[in-house]
Amino acid sequence: MTTPGSPAAARKQVVLVGNPNVGKTTLFNALTGSSAKVSNYPGITVDRRSGLMTAGDGVIELHDVPGTYSLNARSADEQIAFDAIVGVNGAPVPDVVVVCLDATQLARSAYLLLQCQELGARCVVALTMVDEAAIVPDAAAVAAAFQCEVVPVTARTRLGLAELRAAIERTLATERTAIWRWSPAAHQRANLDAARAAIPDAWRAPQRYAAPLPAADDALALWALTCVEDDDELELPASLRVLVRARTVTAADDDDAVLGRWNFLDREVPRLLAAARALADVDARNRVRERTTQIDRFLLGRKTGFLAFLVVMGVMFLALFMWADPVIDAIDKGFKGLGGLLRDLLGAGLLTDFLVDGVIGGVGSVLVFLPQILLLFLFLGFLEDCGYLARVAYLMDRVMRSMNLHGRAFVPMLSGFACAVPAIMATRTQERRRDRILTMMVVPLMTCSARLPVYTLLIGALIPGSRATQAMLMVAMYLFSTLTALVAAWVMSRSVKPLRAKRLPFFIELPPYRWPRMRDVLRMMWSKSSMFLREAGTVILACSIALWALLNFPRELPAGSKDYAALIAKADGPDKATLEAEHAAKKLEYSYGGRLGHAIEPLIRPLGFDWKIGVGIVGAFAAREVFVSTLGIVYAESDADENSESLREKLRGARTADGKRAYSPLVALSLMVFFALAMQCMSTLAIVRRETGSWRWPAFLFTYMTTLAYLASLAVFQIGTLLGFG
Amino acid sequence: MDHARRPGAHLRVVAVNGERGFRRRLLEMGLVPGVEFKVISIAPLGDPWQIEVRGGRWSLRRAEAEQLVVVDVT
């Protein structure tokens, strides 16, 4: 970080800004090469990317910030861009700001440049998309109009990169100025002066720039006056917020600034475009733009739009469900094999059990998520970069909006059918924190693939009727979960204060279709996945080990129980296996987890569950499908899976003390409703903590889902019993 | 601006209404009085619309578009 005392000693800091979809990421990758590092901003899920680049003899640190259209921030992304350009809230003061201007939308993308210049940033323009624009203005003329160096670049072919480095180096040596293209109306002055007086010293030009620059402080004051509102998500000094709230700022004041900038742009940009030389291949360029119209006619068409949409989403969904499966199985088998190998090597004992079941099992439970995460982000990266993801939001906005969700919440919710963990990571495509968190709160309600084995076992074992009835029930569970998620979103967006928010205009760009650069897509896919391993993975591993301990300690049965070791040693053949299974069942019952199952029995009795299901629910916290194997151990069925007929028989045959069936179809239904709604997945909680930066949201998620599950199961069982289905 | 609700219409912004933050967002994106835009298409579910303004294509909800006072210049 650059401190005012030692600016010369520190590495020069350069920030790369621009609108979304202007090729900023590609430019960043091209400039920094392999030195790029992705980390995270504390508390939020926006990637902080920085890397080193050379310019002249020196090495410069280049920071990529999220794409934004304006610095008048409302969302976390916009705040990050603002912090990075101004150098506040922990961001270093940038020595140069590189602003990407889209040659195909020059005026709109230059709006951001004007804001940067008002704030006193030393700006260099990288003119992107020059290979697509039908009119390419002369760089020297643009430079004269905007009073800064302008370099046309095509990052894909590395065209203009050397010139850009040189321009950055030259600009480093220039004097700072704050350039305003409009002057505030007289009536604004009083507000501006008052707001400027409330800016803390650390934010003022003399501190940040080591030189007084009153116009830059004015720009900060203006920023505060236009941004502070009841529901903004901004971080700014309390003194400034209090002052702005006390002043009267009206729409006319906004017009003063916004229209002032547009007046300048609407005067200069048409002049620049009119003076541009005609391009030899202008027809070809126009055809490329025409192509987007044609593709949209199909992909957004009244009849074909949803068909195409269903196909794209269907392929993605199947990929997550089916293509990932063999890899997940392979990982599962690999870790089981590794465990078996280690067990043979070390022999039986506590250390072996800890290493094999706790550590290796735990690492395995982290890695099984990788195939789906990699695949989902491969799809998301591809769809985002080619321009279709924005169109998914466009197509689905009508539906999602009615539940107060963002159009971009659709893909995460669909991914939730496969697994909530990658789905929650996919909420990052929404720019507003409130939208992201609301989506995270409902994604775990979707029927994830881990619930399937549980449903399969329960339906297969306990629901009478033909296969068709059973299949219908399975479909009903999917519908139930989807409906619950949508209603939950609607209710929470009205009742939970941080999730309530004014509607933002759904004014999203539908960028031209472009062929994605696979290198950028793969790079993003890898950075997301490694972040998952590093940060969520460690929590999941710790929880797995804790859960292993819970279900495996104490190791010995209480004094006075059967001496299984001796019995097993004497027995052989089928007797031996039966004894071993019985021993495992007894040990599980006596373990802390087993006792927990007993302890919660009074609590879950009204839902129709006994202590054995209670143990299963405790075990399911590792992952829902563990319910099946835990229940298998309780019923002394080693190696049971959801299709195991003998486990099904035992469930059907189970009797209570008074000889009634322990598990009626009604119990199965109650249990399925419980599994549909309860938050029983520590990996989901870990990833929500990781994505929101606090334990507050996972705690809320756990509480509301589990309460909901309890009440719904209670209602199902009690009402069902009253109606005589018990 | 319901009369202009058809693909292919060219419209000119006369004024932008609505709540402050919402309004500022539209203005900052360049939907300022005097600018012209074109309705490209309407989403299959009837909302939102796709418009072209200042060389870019955008999605705009019907209710939001109603905050724009426009004249038809087709």
List the single residue in B with minimal CA-CA distance to A71: B28
Instruction: State whether A398 and B46 contact (CB < 8 Å).
Output: yes
Q: The CATH number of the domain where B55 resides is what?
A: 2.30.30.90
Q: Compare A661 and A684 and report the one with higher pLDDT.
A: A684
In terms of DSSP bridges, do strands A37-40 and A47-55 run parallel, antiparallel, or are they unpaired?
antiparallel
pLDDT at site A63: 92
Domain with CATH 3.40.50.300 in chain A: 1-183+250-279
Of A101, A89, A132, residue with least CA distance to A17: A101
What is the least distance, in Å, from the CA of A71 to any CA of chain B?
A: 10
ipTM surpasses 0.85: yes
Specify the 3-state DSSP secondary structure of A65: coil
Q: Which of A507, A510, A514 to mutate to test the interface with B (most CBs of B within 10 A)?
A: A507
pLDDT at site A43: 42
Instruction: State whether B43 and A258 contact (CB < 8 Å).
Output: no
Report residue A160 CA to chain centroid gap. 34
- State the first-to-last Cα distance of chain A, in angstroms, to the nearest integer: 68
pLDDT at site A37: 65
Amino acid at A198: A
Instruction: State whether B44 and A296 contact (CB < 8 Å).
Output: no
Of A264, A61, A29, A280, residue with least CA distance to A161: A29
Q: How far apart are CA B3 and CA B66, in angstroms?
A: 11
A38-94 residue pLDDT tens = 655 444 445 678 899 988 778 999 999 888 889 887 766 778 889 999 999 888 999
Strand partners, A127: A101, A152
Report residue A696 CA to chain centroid gap. 17
Contacts of B28 in chain A (CB under 8 A): 69-70, 72, 111, 258
Q: What's the whole-number mean pLDDT along residues A124-148?
A: 94
Q: How far apart are CA A110 and CA A128, in angstroms?
A: 12
Q: What's the whole-number mean pLDDT along residues A281-299?
A: 87
pLDDT at site A144: 96
Q: What's the whole-number mean pLDDT along residues A312-340?
A: 83
Report residue A318 CA to chain centroid gap. 21
DSSP symbol at A513: P
Instruction: State whether B58 and A72 contact (CB < 8 Å).
Output: no
List the single residue in B with minimal CA-CA distance to A105: B55
> Which are the contacts of A154, defined by CB distance < 8 A and separation ≥ 6?
A128, A130, A131, A160
Specify the DSSP element, H or E, that contains A68. Answer: none
A604-639 residue pLDDT tens = 999 999 888 888 888 888 778 788 878 877 777 666
List the single residue in A with minimal CA-CA distance to B43: A395
Cis peptide preceding B44, ω within 30 of 0:
no
Q: How far apart are CA A509 and CA A109, in angstroms?
A: 12
Instruction: State whether A266 and B34 contact (CB < 8 Å).
Output: yes
Q: Compare A548 and A164 and report the one with higher pLDDT.
A: A164
Contact A46, A437 (CB under 8 A): no
Strand partners, B11: B37, B72
Among A400-404, A653-657, A666-670, the range with the most confident prediction by mean pLDDT is A666-670
Query: A55-64, A178-187, A572-581: which range is least confident on average?
Result: A572-581
Residues 391-420 of A with CB under 8 A from B: 393-395, 397-399, 401
What is the least distance, in Å, from the CA of B54 to any CA of chain A?
A: 6
pTM of the predicted protein model: 0.81
pLDDT at site B15: 94
Q: How far apart are CA B13 and CA A67, in angstroms?
A: 27
CA atoms within 13 A on the CB side of A73: 23
Specify the 3-state DSSP secondary structure of B42: strand
DSSP symbol at A154: B
DSSP A136-199: ---HHHHHHHHTSEEEE-BGGGTBTHHHHHHHHHHHHTSPP----SS---HHHHHHHHHHHHTS
Block residue for tokens 């903004």: A232
pLDDT at site A593: 85
Strands (DSSP E) contained in A502-574 are: 508-509
- pLDDT over 50 (residue A664): yes
Report residue A219 CA to chain centroid gap. 33
Contact A629, A357 (CB under 8 A): no
Q: CB-based contact (8 Å) between B32 and chain A? A: yes
Q: Which of A72, A75, A267, A510 to mutate to test the interface with B (most CBs of B within 10 A)?
A: A510
Q: Which two tokens stand for residue A257?
A: 């600034």
Contacts of A258 in chain B (CB under 8 A): 24, 27-28, 32
Report residue A507 CA to chain centroid gap. 21
DSSP symbol at B34: T
A95-120 residue pLDDT tens = 999 999 999 999 999 999 999 999 99
A492-501 residue pLDDT tens = 999 888 888 6
Read off the pLDDT band of A598 (50, 70, 90).
confident
Dihedral in degrees, nearest 10, Cα atoms B39, B40, B46, B47: -70
Strand partners, B38: B10, B52
Strands (DSSP E) contained in A252-318 are: none
List the single residue in B with minimal CA-CA distance to A109: B29
What is the least distance, in Å, from the CA of A396 to any CA of chain B?
A: 8
**Three-state SS across A653-692?**
HCECCCCCECCCHHHHHHHHHHHHHCCCCHHHHHHHHHHH
Q: CB-based contact (8 Å) between A502 and chain B? A: yes
Sheet (strand B68-72) strand order: A508-509, B56-60, B49-53, B36-42, B10-16, B68-72
Dihedral in degrees, nearest 10, Cα atoms A312, A313, A317, A322: -20
Contact A655, A437 (CB under 8 A): no
Q: CB-based contact (8 Å) between A510 and chain B? A: yes
Q: How far apart are CA A312 and CA A238, in angstroms?
A: 47
Q: What's the whole-number mean pLDDT along residues A708-716?
A: 96
What is the least distance, in Å, from the CA of A113 to any CA of chain B?
A: 13
What is the least distance, in Å, from the CA of A593 to any CA of chain B?
A: 51
Its domain, for residue B62, covers: 2-72
Q: What is the CA radius of gyration of chain B?
A: 11
Contacts of A506 in chain B (CB under 8 A): 48, 59-61, 64
How many domains does chain B fold into? Answer: 1
List the single residue in B with minimal CA-CA distance to A304: B44
List the single residue in A with minimal CA-CA distance to B63: A505
Backbone angles phi and psi of A493, in degrees to 5: -70, -15
pLDDT at site A2: 38
pLDDT at site A5: 39
pLDDT at site A563: 79
A512-562 residue pLDDT tens = 998 888 888 888 788 778 877 876 788 778 878 888 888 888 877 777 777
CATH fold of A1-183+250-279: Rossmann fold (3.40.50)
Instruction: State whether A507 and B56 contact (CB < 8 Å).
Output: no
List the single residue in B with minimal CA-CA distance to A265: B30
Read off the pLDDT band of A674 (50, 70, 90).
very high
Q: CB-based contact (8 Å) between A233 and chain B? A: no
- State the first-to-last Cα distance of chain B, in angstroms, to the nearest integer: 13
Q: How far apart are CA A550 and CA A630, in angstroms?
A: 13
Contacts of A250 in chain B (CB under 8 A): 20
Instruction: State whether B56 and A226 contact (CB < 8 Å).
Output: no
Minimal Cβ distance to A395: which of B19, B21, B43:
B43
Residues 635-664 of A with CB under 8 A from B: none
Mean pLDDT over the full length of chain A: 86
Q: How far apart are CA A341 and CA A364, in angstroms?
A: 15
Read off the pLDDT band of A12 (50, 70, 90).
very high
**How many Cβ pairs closer than 8 A exist between chain A and B?**
123
pLDDT at site A194: 92
Contacts of B43 in chain A (CB under 8 A): 300, 305, 394-395, 397-398
Q: Which of A129, A258, A302, A408 to mutate to test the interface with B (most CBs of B within 10 A)?
A: A258
pLDDT at site A231: 65
Percent of chain A with pLDDT over 90: 33
